[in-house]
Amino acid sequence: MHRTLHVLSSIVLLPYIALAAWFLLLGDLIATGSIVSMFGRLLQHATWVIPWGVLGFLAGFLALLAMGLDDRLRRLGGLCLFALAAGCLYIVIVGSSSPLDPGQWLFLLPCFTVLACGAWLALRRGSTRTEILRE
């Protein structure tokens, strides 16, 4: 059950990571000041993301999944889920220029659920050998 919860939480977290990355990218582009420097910065980000960003993101996601599947690393995987969800929520909530309305809070509810699941997976007691064999 813990493996399934970890994998589902990892999958649910993907759109929130993409949204937080988009907010960070937009903030960086807006901070350049002029449209010419904005396009230069956008080109700079694209030349880095295309070869390395996709591979790094895929490797990180597979590592996060592997941590949830291994009994010895499940606590670390829960901590990673918790940290990623907390970071995404921080970026989306603090990066918003106006207070969030109820629909936006409802949209963020699955990310709060991943935050809670990550904390539960990280804080629960270690599995005994018989519990591992039952899973």
CA 6 to CA 39: how far, in whole Å?
A: 39
User: Which of 116, 53, 120, 61 has the alpha carbon at shortest distance from 86?
Assistant: 116
Q: Does residue 107 contact residue 63 with C-beta atoms inside 8 Å?
A: no
pLDDT at position 134? 57
Residue numbers of the domain that contains 18: 2-134
Judge whether residue 129 has pLDDT over 80: no
d(CA 31, CA 89): 21
| pLDDT (0 to 100) of residue 52 | 80
Q: How many domains does the chain have?
A: 1
- Can you give the pLDDT at residue 126? 55
What is the C-alpha to C-alpha distance for residues 48 and 51, in angstroms, rounded to an integer? Answer: 6
DSSP state of 108: H
